[in-house]
Structure 1
Amino acid sequence: MEFFVLGPLTAGVGDERLDLGSARQRIVLAALLLDANRTVTVSRLMEAIYGHDPPVTSRSQVQNCVSALRRLFDSHGHPDLIVTTSQGYALQIPGARIDAQRFRATLVQARQARDGGRQAEAIDLYRAALSLWRGPVLDGVESRLVQSAAGRLTEQRITTVEECVQLELERGGHHELVDELARFVKEYPLREKLRGLLMTALYRSDQRAEALEVYRQTRQTWAEELGIEPNEHLQRLQRAILARDESLNPPDRHTPGAVERVRGRKGAPGMLPPSVADFTGRTEQLAEIRAHLTGEGARERSRLAVPVVVIVGKAGIGKTSIALHIAHAIAGHSPDGQLFATFQGGSTRPVGPLQVLERFLRALGVSGSAMPEGLEERAETYRDLLAARRTLVVLDDVVSESQVLPLLPGNPESAVIVTSRRRLPGLAGAAHVDVAVFEAEQSLELLSRIAGAERTRAEPEAADALAELCGHLPLALRIVGTRLAARPRWSLGRLVELLQDETHRLDELRYGDMGIRAGISLTYDGLGEEARRLFRRLAIMEAPVFSAWAGAALLDRSPAETDDLLDDLADAQLIEIVGAGRGLETQYRFHDLIRVFARERLAAEESFAERNDALARMLGGLLFIADAVRDRYYGRDVVIGSDAVRWALPAPLVAQFAAAPLAWLERERPFVLSAVRQAAHAGFAGLCWDLAMSIVPLFESKVYLDDWRESHEIALAAARRSGDRRGQGAILTSLSTLCHLDQRPAEAFRLAQAAVTAFEEAGEVRGAALATRHIGMLDWTAGRAREASSRYERALETFRATGDRVAVAYVLNQLAQMGLERGDTEGAERQLREALRLSREGDGRRVEAQVLYRMGHARLNSGGFHGAGESFERALAVVRDLSDPIGEVHALHGLGLVRLRQGEFDEAATALRRALTLARATNQRLIEARVLLGLGESSLRAGQAGQAVDLLKRALALFGRYDNVTAHEARALSLLGDARRALGETVPPGS
């Protein structure tokens, strides 16, 4: 059985043509054929038939179409042609049975023959490929989605015609090509290259007037419909035809001694395409490139090698525009000519240096039988011809160093500009210039230049939205601007609406020969299979930034295996490295439009089950790391976790993450918050609430109250939908803590009681005890000491029974504080000693630091300065090991007070100033006020009364924002009075 899509859709067995049934069946078959041997989702088939608004019966209609097609194929001996997958359907058939696949395979062979110098064979293969076409792709299949997908084949057909005709013209076949080219120009009126080929064929066929008429019609049509002029190539061609330039004559294949006569040639090659008229920005890059190529503004230096600049950036970033702009700007430095070649040019197979050398040598005067055959011979002739010339060589869209090396001139007075989507470290001494997307102002400037300044000023919000939707990518902005210029009656808002639909954004970002998808697809197709799979699956994550370990989870591979793949994607400009992080801190992100492309490929090439499994692994990996980080900070005994499956990462890697818990949480905060939302959306309730709980230490220490509230509301809703009472209890307890910090005591108490109920209904004894302990803290804060003590004792009994050492230590620390306030110093110290032992046994570093801090204040108040200082120093060591800046503030404050009581004023001031810097950096206003109070007292005792007045006033201003700080305010007022009296001021009694 064979299928034919390069024209009307048909299928046949031998000479028999099949009746493919209804229009809907033909659409389904067309969609399956365009993605043969890959799953096509049911939703995509529904969209193919009905567009964006399918009826409620659309899924069953798709199933009916597939069943009818299966019956048809079964009746002709092919019952298993369409297979069902977990996500949809796939047409399983060898590629040779589909004419489109045969076309692509023959095209590859033609290009291989062309690049190998076998021109006659290449032409035969090109013609064989084109003979498979019977008309427009899938002609008569009325489906927007199908026709959009078929556009790639149409693009390949036009490119094939252009490549084939170019070869045939070089071999003198102009007479036979005129009618064919005229037909294609009529069919594809916006293809500039086709028009140029037609003009050349007409001129060589002694139809000079007709060739000039093609140019006139082109200029008139484009001016009226597009508002643009023909490109520089067509303009130069028209001037050459008018001047009857000999270079347009048919090639002389029998001219002897051509190479020898080149040195006497008067003209210089001028192969540069035109610079972009509306070129925008890039001032710094242009200056850098110019300085390197010309030496302007640089110190005197020995120039023994050809200066090479490699302009690096993703597809559509504007590399070629920059190269051509600077090439024209410095053309005066290359009086012997400029050479230009494009290596990718939209082709699925990169152009080789052998072919480029042939073009360059022809431009330098070599023709006919004088053209060397092999690469080395051509490269030698090329260097020989440029030995006495000052030439600029521009090599566009290079893939690898091997394409560039044979094209480097030997004369250091020449210069080379290379554009590439990846860095080319193999080019020794080359300067690499990285090009990023536009800033917002540059985007609007380019949009205004193309679409019109008045239109963008009239709709400023829409203009901003267009720039954002284009990801500030110059090519996307150029396409949008050109579409607007071609449609003067369109509003910017209309185009914004079209681009907001992510599933069709790349379809809308296309105009004429310009398109975003083709450039990204070319890079994607050049990757290895595993790199392509990783690229697709990275799009599963909704977080804007992700770390390297996530790629390992998505592929179910070790981090070591995926690191090289991430490097490949970064080198290919498909992902970007964020910031200056290295090693474990390396993070990546997608450009918005590349993410859209990745999601397209993900939907087309991965089943729902594959995507869901990959997401679950990634979330499980994140939770695995978060568990270790939280254990390091809190200790293992004080956490209620879910039963969600973790995806294990290597222990040494996780240990390095956990070494600085708060630093890791800060770096991964956006990722964790995004993961909470994504887990809830995917129905992974346990992962959702457990991840939300994992980042609470950061919320608490950095006072990220809004993030805390949002993540927990999402998690609570997920736990309620799934009926997970343990998860509800955990989240309610955490929300109660949030309300307490937010000074909403009644709400905090209500949530904590609801948490106890949820835990008890889930049979979660430890959770109920943790919530009860939290209510005890709320009672104590509200002045209900008896109730607080009772709840603490109940929680303590449970924790001792369950062996939760860190939880026991935490409660003992609280009970000790209550004892100290009652004057029971001996009992409090006994409880603190036990708490310290248990926190260390349970590896609860944070609780250990809190106990040491409490010990320090207990000893300070009882006059044991040496023991107090030792406790604060040990607490300081722990919080620094945890990278806990807020804990460091408290420990340094305590240490400063000890030094102050000991009369060591300089040491006290040093510790307190460090505490003040950290308190301000972490936005801890209350502890900042207490530190200022300590600094004021230190200054007063050191005889610096004026400085003390200033510090104490600032402390009082901060204390005024809080309740329950009466003792601190009284102390500050007393010291302020002493400082004023020391300055000789009269201070009223009681002031």
Structure 2
Amino acid sequence: MEFRILGPLEVIADAERLDVGGARQRITLAILMLDANRLVTVDRLAEAIYGEQLPPTARAQVQICISSLRRLFAAHGAPDTIATHSRGYILRVGDGQLDAQRFEALTAEARRARNAGNLEEAVTKYRTALKMWRGDEALQGIESRPVQASASRLTEERITTNEDCINLELELGRHQELVGELTSLIEEYPLRERLRGQLMLALYRSGRRAEALQVYRLARETMIEELGIEPNEQLQRLEHAILTADESLEPPVQATKVPVEPPPAAAPPPVPFLLPSAIADFTGRTKQVDAIERELALASEDPTRFAVPIVIVAGKGGIGKTTVAVHTAHMVAERFPDGQLFADLHGGASRQVSPMHVLERFLRALGVPGNAMPEGLEERAEMYRALLADRRTLVVLDDAATESQVLPLLPGTRMSAVLITSRSRLAGLAGAIHVDMDVFDSDQSMELLSRIAGTVRVRSEVSAAKELAELCGQLPLALRIAGARLSARPHWSIEQLVSRLEDETRRLDELNHGDMGIRASISLTYESVGEEARRLFRRLAILDTGHFSVWMGAALLDRPFAEAADLFDELADAQLIETAGGYGLHSLYNFHDLIRVFSRERLAAEETPAERKVALERVLGALLFLTEAAHRREYGGEYIQIHSDAPRWPLPERLVASLVAEPLPWYERERPLLVSGIRQAAQAGFVDLSWDLAISAVTLFESRVYLDDWRETHETALAAVRQASNVRGEAAMLYSRGVLHITEKRFPEARQDFEEATRLFTGIGDDQGTALVLRNIAFLDRMSGDVDQATAHYERALAMFERMGDQVASAYVLHNLAQLRLDAGDPEAASALLSDALALSRDGGSRRVETQVLHRMGDTYLAWNEPDLAADIFDTALGMVRDIGDPVGEAYILTGLGIARLRQGQTARAENALRDAVRLARTTGDRLPEARSLLGLGELALACEDAGHAVMHFEQALSLFRSIRTPMYEARTLIMLAEARAMVESEGRMGESGELVG
């Protein structure tokens, strides 16, 4: 679906222009489109439709318009386009769906290209953006003052963009082509002095000096007649310059010499911004905010201070500590230009977040790849402190439980600052400044209620509102719940809600003594939603994860996806859950900590253990079903996977295709559930689910280098299968853990796991598992230089795959056998094997394996000294590997392409490819492709007779090959290193005349 506002309002679905409806619906949709992905209040929509004189039915008419639009979108396959929130609605649009967003993105790209000196590229971007306009004004024909007021900003951006584009084209010497366009634009915008000046300049450079001066005279007449003022000073100076034939007006001379491209600069360190969104309805807390801001400012400006400044915001649960911390962090963010880090430590939860996991997240945000991640807590903390030593970074640690949870997360120098929230004062943190939080006063409570429930409503029942605030104990969380309750029910009076609260007298008497009052407030909201919504609310507490997707609710309830989506919206409208990002099918929700506690209490009270266990098995079965679908989408089929007979909970085919359309982002979103689900499956006795989920999650862990998760989940699942004497599960976990060891380049540990897995798979007659393990053992043999043993293991695995009819697995083994033939100097045998492998990979539909086969074919052509053919093959493989998103594979192929370019004599192109390969390999943290690309750079340097750089590259490659224990590559590198060193020594003995000395 496509939304268009750059001209008349249009909605396009499947190449069909939709009939949006009458004027009210068009105005409603226009306002939503102007604020796409942002909340639009009902009051603003009503004002756009009716102006300032609102009829009594205004809100109802808005709801009717929204319902009509929803039906329209649902009929065209987009039922979730408009989301309901407590105070209004959000039009959810994805990247590229709204023409105004594409226009703004293109103009931003044009500005970046202009700033980088790429004028041609900038002009192309500007012109592409301008072509998106279907008229002179945005939202033409919409008769609404608020709509036109907002649309005028877009119209102004259009003409400004046109002027900016023309300015660049004048710099490029295209003055003659611009005269006609500028003349038309001036007729449309006669008071735009910048356009007048551009036309004068274009005419003058085209040799039409008299006409350029005439443009100025007409501009002066128009300005005086219309506005009573002279043209601006810039236009007057331009007229004078034309009269005097100033040389500065001559068109720039375009450079004819192609500039030499400088070597790529080192990428700047990433600037993390992990803060949650700013709080839109932040209320009160001026004293606390000022105190925090003052302390952070003093600490950062005090040159005598050496320790890291720490501010602790302390108070009981539900008091608003997080809100204050996030609000203040946004206010002071400019003082910390090197980034802001944020972590929720879940101090009030049963499973607190460990410093190990927080440090992994922080180090990744600071640019540390997965393979470079230290394993121990102390090593991670040291690396973290080193990275922050000279950076001005703000670290926000929310809901800390103890000093020990915080200490490893503190930077080591005063350059950074730390803001902590906690339910205790954390007195053990030396030198920390404490800011204590208490309940709201009466004025602050009234302000918060007004912002949520509506100012007019609160003012009409001031006495009842004050009584409501007292019954809520002035606690911000309780006030927010009460305000949201009123907002969701506009037909209620405040007095009605007060009466309901008074019915809970015994509990409300406890309100000033901790969480009991919050429980009573949540209970009121809980009881207001339907039975199915309450059941979903309870069962969400079954999952040990931080966020929920709609499909999880469908599995928990054993209901269709659409019904679960409606129930999530009902819970979100009631403020029992919160939106946590995403949109459409990928919307995410989470609990506030205190509400999660309440949900768990209701779960224990209202659901039997058997019901909870069945619901957990369903949702984990759905998770396994989706992970398998995502794996197939990523790999093109069910390859390198071993599965159990664990029950799946299938979802509709179309829904699954949409959910996992982008497999790795889906895996990333569901990563918390994958990790916790494997643990929960093991704890609940779902052994097959546990190990199957663990091996299915490797698609994510391997591609994104989440080695900690890989290790933790497999240790959990391995312990479960061993306790249950599940032989196949144990073999599968040992096999997958062995692959982890290969990824970590721990080859002895990998071999140990593979040998035990082979024994177990063979013992139960599992040929698929045995074959998968054997091909990995063969890889270890090849890396250690044992070619005969590698060949034997590959051939044994191949025979098993062929008996099973697994074409892709067979192709994978064949191209590895071909590499052994290449290593042995037999390219003809390698070519025959690769021809079979290519046919099998294509028949099996695996583009990933096909690219690997093409890579080997490129190496074969190099061995035959056919660099032209090799370059063509590598180019084809490069396009494919970029399309499927495999950065490690791309690094290997770029290395091969660089060598092919070198053999073609294209040294500049060879260097570009090899340096790109090094950069990519370092980004992924994989040392083998990095070492191979460095070896290629050394060969390039030798060919260019640059022996010094050749030695440097070979020594770097040798160090990497030794660190991952690959004797075959070590030997090859040592030979080339000796040649380079001999060349250096020879050069050092040459005299000035070129003759050898001594």
TM-score (norm 1): 0.49
Greater radius of gyration (CA) = 1
Query: If the length of structure 2 is used for normalisation, what is the TM-score?
Result: 0.48
